[in-house]
A and B are shown apart, each in its own frame.
Chain A
């Protein structure tokens, strides 16, 4: 059956068709739609399957792994930086292996579209010594999910699927299975203490040896089933291109469009590679060029003087692929003369910049604004975290972003290293649950003095509004009570559009800070503007316009408040774009020194 699917939809459908009935993960672009789509397919077809967001990737991994060792077919989903969080259980699970099947999906982001780092999860697979499959299109992602689950079952090893953003968010007409042959499989954990509970060193040493044997068997399988069948199509050109994932598409298009002659061998499983067998192929070629995103994972496993790639500096080492980069690599390796076939001209005059920005009407903007208004920049350090509120960077309301949860631990560090400044940490509810609680416990028991503002919009908004623990749970997991359980009081502010009130709340925190001997913690309750069920009544009521006589073009609104509808018109005065304005009216007070924003009408 043919269906038009986005990569992450294809992956979700593949999981269902592979008989996976237990999925756990944490959202992160570009991986976020996999679990959500799995839930959708499950509900539509009334399947019995567990699919839930975990508090973080480590937890998600461990839930799925437990399912696998009791014999179920499971999956954990995350993005590449999420895999860092889950790396601890991964390393051990790779030694121990499993009984059912477990697919670990880690989505990469070459080109840094929505990530702090450009990592290559294939390198992590290599580090952890588990096989990895690298799809190049949604169709392949679908097929490889099914293959990966089967391989995991056969070799009792976790198998990684590593789609990049251009696969996860690509859309293609895919050929998928017709029927739904899914039945909930019962887990049945069999006690086996030497295996599942092995204590170093004796037990683990044996498992380490088994892991090596398993890898050798998978290498042989990789050759027999994935690589060798493709070698028959090699035409005996002078140059061999070894490709992986999306690198393959760019190479094939460039070769056919520019009539360059080279053989292409796509490595569907870039780790573990049958090194000797692959290198034996090189005899027939003058040059072998490796095209892979993002790190030299394939290249590092092979050695030959004929090999050209990132390590030899013939292929670019950062940013996503393009056909132009394929051409440069061919030219750098001396296969073709330098070519400008894909060069083009940019528009060279300056265009208005559109950095990612918080949505019009977003309450986080007011919180950041109030923080910078009350805690002056020279006397403060603003630590922040990963989520929509990261975009407070635009308001110069954030000094540091490291990784999830680090706003609180870094606030601890700054309170020790630079005690004359007031440190104000901001973190969202999802991130707080993900990895903010442990650093808060640390800060309380060591009496670190800073201000922590938890921005609770009760959803993971940045990645598409996935549910968070406090949202769906009947047991009322409550941030305020978590904070209180950590031993400090939690000051609550229920957000209002009147910016004066948000500023006053920050002033009250400032007062408390003066006499505090531990972290001053606050939670701002609000709902995401995209959450139409809960954010009702807050938006769309007020139409604001600018009194041009009062506007002196001082920049303070677009520098400090930075709401997307605000821009200068031809007359050099501020103007509000009616198509972008959410009608929240928050800009009316406080932010304009000449009071140029005026209410036009109530809708």
Chain B
């Protein structure tokens, strides 16, 4: 299999955490995985983008026009990175308000900020919440909920239970949102 994911967000939202979870999930599936993350200048509030390439790849970076999925933890960061999506099969899952500009891709959006403001889930877990939304909405997403749960446990067992609750909240909210 070959599946390429771009994770976009801003510093402090936990994009790198998602790269780690997806790498572990790949290992659980016995799939090769190559990813890369931006460090250094991306302080809190600055743009951050990470890549995860699952399958037989040799270069860690994703080229423009190649990604199968773009997970955006913030709406404008989705727009900033849409050139990485494949024109034929690219899917966007993003955290954005209802009146967000439309783009020419299969797009699934949820207003996660609004839900966090209403204390429906803790904002620190936005990344895991959006992963739940992705599990519910992207039919080609290469992992099952079980595999992601296992990866979250392997990553940090102490906070896994809390994260898995938020993961399912994301899944449920996304289904209701449809």
A contact set with B: CB distance below 8 Å:
2, 4, 6, 29-30, 32, 113-114, 136-137, 166-167, 169-173, 246, 248-250, 252-253, 320-324, 341-347, 349, 351-352, 354-360, 388, 391, 462-464, 564-565, 578-580
Contact = CB atoms under 8 A, between A and B. Distances in A.
B38 to A, nearest CB: 6
B23 A4 contact: yes
Interface stretch (B58-66, B129-137, B139-147, B162-170): B58-66
A356 B43 contact: yes
* Listed residue (B63, B84, B103, B123) with the most chain A CB atoms within 10 angstroms of its CB: B63
A329 to B, nearest CB: 14
B116 A171 contact: no
A110 to B, nearest CB: 10
Contacts of A136: 58-59
A244 to B, nearest CB: 13
Contacts of A321: 59
Interface in B74-118: 76, 79-80, 82-85, 87, 101, 103-104, 113, 116-117
Given A29-B39, A347-B82, A354-B10, 14 more contacts: A136-B58, A172-B33, A173-B23, A173-B33, A248-B58, A323-B66, A343-B65, A354-B47, A357-B45, A391-B43, A564-B44, A564-B45, A579-B113, A579-B116
Contact of A114 (B23, B34, B39, B80): B39
Nearest to B26: A173
Contact of B40 (A113, A246, A344, A346): A113
Nearest to B34: A172
Given A249-B60, A344-B65, A170 B40 contact: no
Contacts of A388: 43
A2 B66 CA distance: 28
B34 A171 contact: yes
A580 B44 contact: yes
Interface in B1-44: 10, 12, 19-20, 23-24, 26-27, 32-44
Nearest to B2: A257
17 contacts: A170-B60, A171-B20, A172-B32, A252-B58, A321-B59, A341-B65, A342-B66, A344-B83, A349-B101, A354-B46, A356-B42, A357-B46, A359-B45, A360-B44, A564-B45, A565-B45, A579-B113
Nearest to B90: A344
Interface of B: 10, 12, 19-20, 23-24, 26-27, 32-47, 57-61, 63-66, 76, 79-80, 82-85, 87, 101, 103-104, 113, 116-117, 123
Nearest to A250: B59
Given A29-B41, A357-B43, A579-B116, A344 B84 contact: yes
User: Can you list the 9 inter-chain pairs with the closest CB atoms, starting with the nearest?
Assistant: A564-B45, A249-B59, A114-B40, A29-B40, A344-B65, A249-B58, A170-B60, A344-B64, A356-B41
Given A355-B46, A579-B113, A342 B37 contact: no
A170 B34 contact: yes
A173 B59 contact: no
Contact of B60 (A2, A166, A564): A166
A359 B41 CA distance: 11
A342 B61 CA distance: 13
B83 A360 contact: no
B45 A352 contact: no
A356 B60 contact: no
Given A166-B36, A345-B83, A346-B83, A360 B61 contact: no
A4 B27 CA distance: 8
Contacts of A6: 37
Nearest to B78: A347
Nearest to A247: B59
Contacts of A360: 44-45
Contacts of A346: 82-83
Given A322-B63, A351-B76, A391-B43, A113 B85 contact: no
Contacts of A137: 34, 58, 60
Contact of B37 (A171, A252, A355, A462): A171
Nearest to A112: B41
B63 A342 contact: yes
B79 to A, nearest CB: 4
Contacts of B65: 341-344
Contacts of B123: 579
Contacts of B47: 354
Contacts of B26: 173
Given A167-B60, A171-B23, A354 B79 contact: no
Given A248-B58, A324-B64, A113 B38 contact: yes
Given A343-B65, A347-B80, A349-B101, A169 B38 contact: yes
